[in-house]
């Protein structure tokens, strides 16, 4: 009987060990599945990180290009402003020159008007200087560019 008890104990131990082995096998499979999920997640995270690094490099490149474009545009703006100031100064010089010419022409016109009035005055003086052998006194007044004469006897 003691052999039967020992055999029963051994069979119970074997049954416990088989149950433990099945339990360990199940845990091992669960851990393998968990490890596979973690490995898959790690791969996705690494892919996302690589994609983010690539995107970051691309954005950095675009940012540098934009900064260079901004610098180029700022330099062009400064150049255009300087050219505009030069052109503005040239135009102001031309305007001043034209105003000076206009003022000179106004002086010439006034000179010609005064000369014409003087000639008219002299011509009127000479044509009315004698009447019936005696001198008349004439008064000439220049008003608004016209000559009027008054005869005093």
Q: What is the pLDDT of residues 10-60, one digit of tens each?
A: 999 999 999 999 999 999 999 999 999 999 999 999 999 999 999 999 999
Q: Where are the domains of the chain?
A: 2-152
The answer to whether the pTM exceeds 0.85 is no
Among 147, 99, 100, which residue's Cα sits nearest to residue 125? 147
Cα–chain center distance at 81: 12
- Cα atoms in the Cβ-side hemisphere of radius 13 Å centred on 28: 6
Cα separation of 16 and 13, whole Å?
5
Show the tokens assigned to 77.
């703006």
pLDDT tens, position by position, 100-124 = 999 999 999 999 999 999 998 888 8
Kindly report the average pLDDT of the chain as a whole number. 87
Residues 6+ apart with CB under 8 A from 60: none
Instruction: Output the pLDDT for position 129.
Output: 59
């Amino acid at each position: 009987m003691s052999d039967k008890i020992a055999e029963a104990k051994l069979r119970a131990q074997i049954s416990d060990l088989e149950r433990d082995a099945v339990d360990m096998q199940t845990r091992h499979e669960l851990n393998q599945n968990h490890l596979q999920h973690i490995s898959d997640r790690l791969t996705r995270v690494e892919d996302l990180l690589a994609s983010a690094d690539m995107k970051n490099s691309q954005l950095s490149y675009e940012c540098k290009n934009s900064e260079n474009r901004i610098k180029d545009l700022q330099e062009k703006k400064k150049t255009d402003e300087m050219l505009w100031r030069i052109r503005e100064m040239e135009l102001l010089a031309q305007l001043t020159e034209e105003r000076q010419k206009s003022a000179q022409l106004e002086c010439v016109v006034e000179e010609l008007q005064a000369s014409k009035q003087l000639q008219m005055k002299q011509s009127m003086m000479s044509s009315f200087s004698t009447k019936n052998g005696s001198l008349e006194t004439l008064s000439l007044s220049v008003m608004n560019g016209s000559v009027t004469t008054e005869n005093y006897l």
